[in-house]
């Protein structure tokens, strides 16, 4: 039976790429049985399999609800706000809670293996088993390195996460909801004090971000407590503005509104403000203690920690930093070659770096930052989606039921938002998925990147991937809402190249935009491993990407600083995309004319986010099934 890894070898693919596709352990365990007329015993077995699958799914449902009950913030995110006591609390971030979660992983893994018969499960339930098993095993391994992670960075942390939850997710439909908001404001202080103590302990052990991060940390933290009621300026702080607006929208009497706003204001001045000042004081202490070393290698167990991060973000435990680095270098060389072909096509004379500068600076590639320029961009990207919708049925059998719309990022959050991004729609269909374009500064939205951004974030990228996962009603809830970066970002990057396969990118400059983004993800393989394993400095990484990609220095600097504080995450995009493309190439080579895009994409997308090893097993099964059908 031909499997992916065997095919890779027989196809004599480049060794660096094949290194990303090791023989997957247990790949035969999910293979389907040969189709045959059902005997009485086989019918009985099928009933047993279904019963075992139902038992497993019922257990998964119990675990999902139990975990949800422990997480008030996840309840809020899912719109479950009937439990008013939980609605007023934050998640427990104590060491005791983390220890208990680790013990649950160990016990759940053992319980599943002892209680349920894997061989008696149907195929979908076997996938769910594999995914759950992967999550528990990964969590158990990652727990070993908890003390190597940064508590606060410019990318994430409760200093920005808690206000974002209150402003973006905490609904105030009733006075009780406003009371819960006030309760959460009063709960910020205790959470901060616990995490400040944790960060202090790690700093003493040498685990803290490099110096550059602290200007961002202090600035982002100070922004939360700038304006009324924290100072005498003419502005209103984000939290007070949000709480006041939500309370004023309630249909209650003015006296009740005034009382709520007064108590919310008191929570801000008495609890939130002092907590943020204590946090800023800690940042100032740590800035004096840290240095300019950027990579994970500087940490007490840095090398082992980074390898664990690579395994977690790529979902491939056997990849070494050097293999990832070398793969990135090889991909950059390949993509540079394709870019030179576009240079020849458009008649550009000069070096590749000259072409990069031309694409960065020539006015023909940018709309002005005016109402007219913004409106034109939104109209044209909407046209891109209309065109791709016309050909999608030729490549996808299962289409999401949820709709997608195009919008500009709202002015109040544009300054801190990415160039383009996607927000999933509501599970009940009451809110569409939204493709957001950040039109604040149109120099950050080159026209030649329009198509590739649209396919990545929207159709057939994240909109298809996330919406189809949520719409799989027979799939356990933990799978429907799971997001694994190697799968999700790998699919979205694959979707960009799929646009080329579907006949899009007819303009050579748009095709350059596609290659520019693929080049960027290949560069991430190089610089992430360079920083965290090969001891590159922040400036080394900036210089490398400036020389080898077409992005601006501002974009490159911001991205490199992200990679520094989030080891391994940046490697997931290209690793996932390469594996999905390898799987498609394998299926096409094995099945020939019997290969069907729609069937292949169904296998990839209708099981939710998958570890790449599990996805490989599924495609092996798909190929075996189709080969057997063809032989009949």
Does 500 reside within a domain?
A: yes
Predicted local confidence at residue 413, as pLDDT: 77
Across-strand partners of 437?
A: 408, 420
The verdict on pTM exceeding 0.75 is yes
Does 604 reside within a domain?
A: no
Please report the DSSP string for 7-57 in residue order.
Answer: HHHHTT--HHHHTTSPPPTTGGGGPPPPP----HHHHHHHHHHHHHHHHHH
pLDDT at 494 over 70: yes
Q: What are the backbone dihedrals phi and psi of residue 206, each rounded to the nearest 5 degrees, phi first?
A: 90, 15
Same-domain status, 462 and 492: yes
Taking the C-alpha atoms of residue 393 and residue 136, their distance in angstroms, rounded to an integer, is: 37
pLDDT at 40 over 90: no
Does 21 reside within a domain?
A: no
Q: What is the mean pLDDT of residues 64-71?
A: 97
Same-domain status, 333 and 472: yes
Same-domain status, 265 and 393: no
Sequence-separated (6 or more) residues with CB below 8 Å from residue 125? 52, 53, 56, 57
- Residue 456: burial class (beta carbons within 10 Å; 0-12, 13-18, 19+): buried
Does 39 reside within a domain?
A: no
Q: How confident is the model at residue 632 (pLDDT cuts 50, 70, 90)?
A: low
pLDDT at 601 over 70: yes
Lowest-pLDDT range of 179-183, 428-432, 503-507: 428-432
Q: What are the backbone dihedrals phi and psi of residue 232, each rounded to the nearest 5 degrees, phi first?
A: -100, 15
> What's the longest Cα–Cα distance across the chain?
82
Same-domain status, 356 and 432: yes
Same-domain status, 238 and 352: no
Does 35 reside within a domain?
A: no
Q: What is the mean pLDDT of residues 49-75?
A: 93
Taking the C-alpha atoms of residue 178 and residue 574, their distance in angstroms, rounded to an integer, is: 44
Domain assignment of residue 417, given as a range? 306-576
Q: How confident is the model at residue 28 (pLDDT cuts 50, 70, 90)?
A: very low
Q: What is the mean pLDDT of residues 20-39?
A: 30
Q: 3-state class of 434 per DSSP?
A: strand
Predicted local confidence at residue 479, as pLDDT: 96
The mean pLDDT of the chain is 91
Same-domain status, 329 and 433: yes
> Could you give the percent of the chain with pLDDT greater than 70?
91
DSSP 147: G
Structure tokens, 554: 């501002």
Same-domain status, 479 and 358: yes
pLDDT in tens, 359-376: 999 999 999 999 999 999
**N- to C-terminal Cα separation, the chain:** 16
Same-domain status, 357 and 291: no
Same-domain status, 446 and 334: yes
Same-domain status, 443 and 514: yes
Same-domain status, 383 and 281: no
Higher pLDDT, 138 or 47: 138
pLDDT at 121 over 80: yes
Predicted local confidence at residue 631, as pLDDT: 65
Does 477 reside within a domain?
A: yes
Q: 3-state class of 236 per DSSP?
A: strand
Q: How confident is the model at residue 426 (pLDDT cuts 50, 70, 90)?
A: confident
The count of domains in the chain is: 2
Angle between helices 371-391 and 450-457 (to 10 degrees): 60
Q: How confident is the model at residue 389 (pLDDT cuts 50, 70, 90)?
A: very high
Query: Considering 295, 325, 355, which residue would you say is the last residue of a domain?
Result: 295
Q: How confident is the model at residue 13 (pLDDT cuts 50, 70, 90)?
A: very low
Q: Which of 405, 422, 419 is nearest to 495 (CA)?
A: 422
Does 288 reside within a domain?
A: yes
Lowest-pLDDT range of 49-63, 201-215, 441-455: 49-63
Predicted local confidence at residue 480, as pLDDT: 95
Same-domain status, 339 and 438: yes
Q: In what order do the strands lie in the sheet with 404-408?
A: 404-408, 433-437, 420-423
Query: Considering 241, 264, 295, which residue would you say is the last residue of a domain?
Result: 295
Q: What is the mean pLDDT of residues 33-60?
A: 58
Does 345 reside within a domain?
A: yes
> Could you give the percent of the chain with pLDDT greater than 90?
86
- Residue 373: burial class (beta carbons within 10 Å; 0-12, 13-18, 19+): middle
pLDDT in tens, 231-272: 998 999 999 999 999 999 999 999 999 999 999 999 999 999
Query: Considering 576, 597, 614, which residue would you say is the last residue of a domain?
Result: 576
Structure tokens, 7: 């095919």
Please report which residue ranges of 409-505 form alpha helices under DSSP H.
Answer: 411-414, 450-457, 462-470, 477-480, 485-501
Sequence-separated (6 or more) residues with CB below 8 Å from residue 591? 623, 626, 627, 630
Predicted local confidence at residue 9, as pLDDT: 39
């Amino acid at each position: 039976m031909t499997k992916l890894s065997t095919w890779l070898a027989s196809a004599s693919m480049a060794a660096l790429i094949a290194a990303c596709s090791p023989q997957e352990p247990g790949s035969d365990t999910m293979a389907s049985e040969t189709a045959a007329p059902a005997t009485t015993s086989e019918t009985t077995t099928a009933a047993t399999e279904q019963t075992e699958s139902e038992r497993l799914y019922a257990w998964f449902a119990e675990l999902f609800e139990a975990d949800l009950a422990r997480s008030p913030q996840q309840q809020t995110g899912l719109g479950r706000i009937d439990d008013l006591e939980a609605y007023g609390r934050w998640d427990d971030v104590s060491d005791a809670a983390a220890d208990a979660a680790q013990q649950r992983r160990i016990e759940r893994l053992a319980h599943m293996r002892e209680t349920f018969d894997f061989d008696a499960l149907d195929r979908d339930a076997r996938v769910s088993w594999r995914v759950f098993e992967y999550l528990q095993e990964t969590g158990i391994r990652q727990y070993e390195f908890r003390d190597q992670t940064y508590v606060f960075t410019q990318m994430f942390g409760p200093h920005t996460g808690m206000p974002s939850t209150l402003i973006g997710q905490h609904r105030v439909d009733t006075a009780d909801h406003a009371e819960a908001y006030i309760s959460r404001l009063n709960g910020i202080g205790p959470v901060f004090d616990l995490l400040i103590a944790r960060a202090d302990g790690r700093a003493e052990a040498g685990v803290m971000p490099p110096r550059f991060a602290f200007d961002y940390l202090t600035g982002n933290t100070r922004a939360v407590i700038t304006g009324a009621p924290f100072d005498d300026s003419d502005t209103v702080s984000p939290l007070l503005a949000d709480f006041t607006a939500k309370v004023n929208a309630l249909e209650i009497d003015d006296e009740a509104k005034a009382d709520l706003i007064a108590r919310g204001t008191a929570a801000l001045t008495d609890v939130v403000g002092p907590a943020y000042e204590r946090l800023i004081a800690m940042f100032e202490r740590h800035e004096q203690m840290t240095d300019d070393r950027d990579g994970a290698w500087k940490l007490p167990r840095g090398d082992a920690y980074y390898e664990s991060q690579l395994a977690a973000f790529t979902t491939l435990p056997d990849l070494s930093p050097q293999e990832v680095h070398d793969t990135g270098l090889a991909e950059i060389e390949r993509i540079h070659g394709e870019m030179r072909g576009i240079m020849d096509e458009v008649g550009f004379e000069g070096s590749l770096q000259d072409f990069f500068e031309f694409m960065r600076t020539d006015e023909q590639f940018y709309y002005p930052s005016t109402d007219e320029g913004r409106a034109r961009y939104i109209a044209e990207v909407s046209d891109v989606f209309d065109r791709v919708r016309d050909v999608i049925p030729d490549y996808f059998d299962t289409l999401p039921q949820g709709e997608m719309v195009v919008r500009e990022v709202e002015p109040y959050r544009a300054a801190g938002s990415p160039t383009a991004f996607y927000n999933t729609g509501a599970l009940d269909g009451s809110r569409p998925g939204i493709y957001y374009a950040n039109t604040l500064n149109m120099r950050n939205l080159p026209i030649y990147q329009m198509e590739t951004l649209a396919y990545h974030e929207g159709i057939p990228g994240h909109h298809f991937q996330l919406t189809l996962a949520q719409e799989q009603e027979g799939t356990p809830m933990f799978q429907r809402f799971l997001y694994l970066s190697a799968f999700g970002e790998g699919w979205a990057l694959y979707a960009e190249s799929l646009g080329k396969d579907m006949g899009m990118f007819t303009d050579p400059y748009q095709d350059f935009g596609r290659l520019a983004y693929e080049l960027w993800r290949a560069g991430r393989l190089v610089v992430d491993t360079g920083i965290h394993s090969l001891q590159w400095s922040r400036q080394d990484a900036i210089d490398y990407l400036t020389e080898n990609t077409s992005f601006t220095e501002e974009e490159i600097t911001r991205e490199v600083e992200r990679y520094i504080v989030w080891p391994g995450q940046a490697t997931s995009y290209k690793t996932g995309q390469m594996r999905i493309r390898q799987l498609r190439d394998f299926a096409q080579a094995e099945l020939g004319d019997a290969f069907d895009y729609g069937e292949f994409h169904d296998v990839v997308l209708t099981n939710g986010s998958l570890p790449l090893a599990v996805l490989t097993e599924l495609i092996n099964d798909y190929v075996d099934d189709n080969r057997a059908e063809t032989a009949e």
